[in-house]
Amino acid sequence: MPCPTLISRLPNVGTTIFTVMSALASEKNAVNLGQGFPDFACDPQLVDAVTHAMQQGLNQYPPMAGVPVLREAVATKLKALYARDYSAASEITITAGATQAILTSILAVVHPGDEVIVLEPCYDSYVPNIELAGGVVVRVPLKPGTFRPDFERIAAALTPRTRAILINSPHNPSGTTWTAQEMQQLEALLAPTDVLLISDEVYEHMVFDGQVHQSAARFAGLAERAFVISSFGKTYHVTGWKVGYVAAPAALMAEFRKVHQFNVFTVNTPVQYALAHYMADPAPYLGLSDFYQQKRDLFRAGLANTRFKLLPCEGTYFQSVETSAINDLPEADFCKWLTSEVGVAAIPLSAFYGDGFDQRVVRFCFAKKTETLELALEKLQAIGC
């Protein structure tokens, strides 16, 4: 019998560029600097803590919002770093990764017809999440070349139908970080409105050159309307564990949890206990910026000996480069050529724009072992030789 006819909830979504490029990298045996995950192990103590939790019998359902000891650890961290008090009981929820936290935040507050502003280029889950909620996506570009927020265009995009705005700092894919002044500008812009803020801060501990992360939690006028989202996977090199958290005022969190309990209900129990135990020592996340800055500096120094033009990298573990001095291929074609002919995979920034805006800029991930980066650099330095 034929399959019943379906009307897709996401008719414009196909195979992501990350899947395409990773498959091509595997086929061509290329160095994969495309998809954003480490190729090195996490701290063995963290794995030991998960094993210990399992052996202690902590293997059944935890509370829906997350185990209390982990929520307390998150609240302690947020207070120490950003001077913001969140109630572990009513204002912090542990999630199945940041992607789930973003989706659940949107589903909790966005109704059909509500407008949600996204700043492009943006992470590829944002737009489908809004569409699943029945919201209307309003795309506002970051300034080309610098990828800084354009507050005139953001202000022009605000309407009585605007329900929320999504921001991401440090920013994937560009590596830009918002300044305190920019966060204050956003705070002032939203002050007379009821617009909510969804602040994607998964790279909060990867900010370079002596800067500090400007979390929405630092700014009272933003924190009172914000879902602040982060990722244990990014912070502790365990992206496959898919555990994150969201912090928000109690009224917003109550709505978040209504969706969360039917979305995933709760999150892996022994991993939660292990993370709580590991967070007792802040050194691993406090030292993460230095750890990744060393990798960034190594990678940038090697790229300086190529025909790529380096763009600034203020945070994250991504380095963007302009390619126009190498050839005139569009970004997606350039990445396929680079993977097939040079042996290094990258991601085109055009994949992060709804209209495929092409600036001849591609993104590399430097969350890799030193030997992986050196091998990639050897191949990239040979272009045109």
Three-class SS string for 355-376?
CCCCCCEEEEECCCCHHHHHHH
Task: Note the residue count of the chain.
Answer: 385
Q: Residues spanned by CATH 3.40.640.10 within the chain?
A: 44-284
Q: pLDDT tens digits for the chain (385 residues)?
A: 667 888 889 988 877 888 888 899 989 999 999 988 899 999 999 999 999 999 999 999 999 999 999 999 999 999 999 999 999 999 999 999 999 999 999 999 999 999 999 999 999 999 999 999 999 999 999 998 899 999 999 999 999 999 999 999 999 999 999 999 999 999 999 999 999 999 999 999 999 999 999 999 999 999 999 999 999 999 999 999 999 999 999 999 999 999 999 999 999 999 999 999 999 999 999 999 999 999 999 999 999 999 999 999 999 999 999 999 999 999 999 999 999 999 999 999 999 999 999 999 999 999 999 999 999 999 999 996 5
CB 105, CB 229: distance < 8 Å: yes
Measured distance CA(112)–CA(130) in Å, rounded: 9
pTM for the model? 0.96
Question: What CATH number is given for 17-42+286-381 in this structure?
Answer: 3.90.1150.10
Show Cβ contacts of residue 8 under 8 Å, excluding neighbours closer than 6 positions.
none
DSSP assignment string, 162-177: EEEEEEESSPTTT---
Q: Which of 208, 250, 193, 204 is nearest to 227 (CA)?
A: 250
- Give the Cα separation of 201 and 197 in Å (integer): 12
Rounded distance between C-alpha atoms, residue 192 and residue 40, angstroms: 47
Half-sphere exposure of 196 (CA within 13 A, CB side): 24
Identify the CATH class of 44-284: alpha beta
Strand runs labelled E in the chain: 31-32, 92-95, 115-120, 136-141, 162-168, 196-200, 226-231, 244-247, 309-310, 318-322, 344-345, 347-348, 361-365
User: Within the chain, which residue ranges are assigned CATH 3.90.1150.10?
Assistant: 17-42+286-381
